[in-house]
Amino acid sequence: MNAASQAIGVFDSGVGGLTVLRALVTALPDESWIYLGDTARLPYGTKSATTVQRYALRAAEVLVERGIKALVVACNTASAAALPALRERFAHLPVIGVVEPGAAAAVAASRTGRIAVIATESTVAGGAYVRAIAALQPDAQVQSLACQVFVALAEEGWIEGEAVLAAAHRYLDGWFATDAAHPDVLLLGCTHFPVLAPVLSQVLGPRVSVVDASAAVAQTLCRALAERGLLAPSGHQGSAPLLLATDGVARFARVGATFLGHALAAEHVQLVDL
């Protein structure tokens, strides 16, 4: 098979990365996709960087064995902990993470340079977003907060209602005071969080831009494919994404529907063993 006609591999610790896949499919409809959710080992966000790197390398190996032409790490925690190792191991492939595109999108959206990042415990502890934003705008003022409850709410499909509002106020009210020095951008540093964006925007109001990195990831991937001559040939018909999970295909389908934005049947998800 011509390399440009091969599928693009996408992986995440679970279903959250489906928000990235959704943006990728929208931006590159002619491409074919293989998505792997490592549901047997989630959450990555509470595990050590060493463990996350080991999980990420194995997940990538499974996708590479299926003949992919590019790899998207649709997991903030894995992007923060494992991207250098993945790029070294799979140097023959474009390997795209979510941290760098997300940081660039946040910097572009901010008028004041005051940026707030919400993410998992591991991503916040590793400081990946602080470093990525500082590399683009050294004088930026970046605050980071671990919001693990948001992950649990999204996994349960609770994306609106009093429970979500209460959690949003509990996490964010202290940051976004009424004075002029509050951040003007909230960067969603976890792929579970975009489904909560309407509620977060409701809590924060128009003074704060809520930034989802997914569209920026799609643009970054498009540029990487074009640079290597790997964009799908003109007229190539992209196939429906092949969805793989390491555990709980029924739950993957049920919860994944929230992230993909359409119904998903369990028989459309294949169980794989890492």
Tell me if residue 83 falls in helix, strand or coil: helix
Alpha-carbon gap, residue 82 to 76, rounded angstroms: 10
Question: How far, in Å, CA of 247 to CA of 257, rounded?
Answer: 16
Instruction: Write down the number of H helices and E strands in the chain.
Output: 11, 10
Q: Which of 18, 73, 75, 269 is catalytic?
A: 75
Torsion sign across C-alpha atoms 67, 73, 78, 84: positive
Residue 51 backbone dihedrals phi, psi, to 5 degrees: -65, -45
CA-CA distance, 63 to 234, in Å (whole number)? 25
Q: Which residues of 98-117 are buried (b: 16+ CB within 10 A; e: fewer)?
A: bbbbbbbbbbebbeebbbbb
190 noted as active-site residue: yes
Residue 175 exposed, middle or buried by CB count within 10 Å (0-12, 13-18, 19+): middle
147 catalytic? Reply is: no
Q: Catalytic residue among 167, 190, 199, 213, which?
A: 190
Q: Give the residue numbers annotated as catalytic, written as ranges.
A: 75, 190
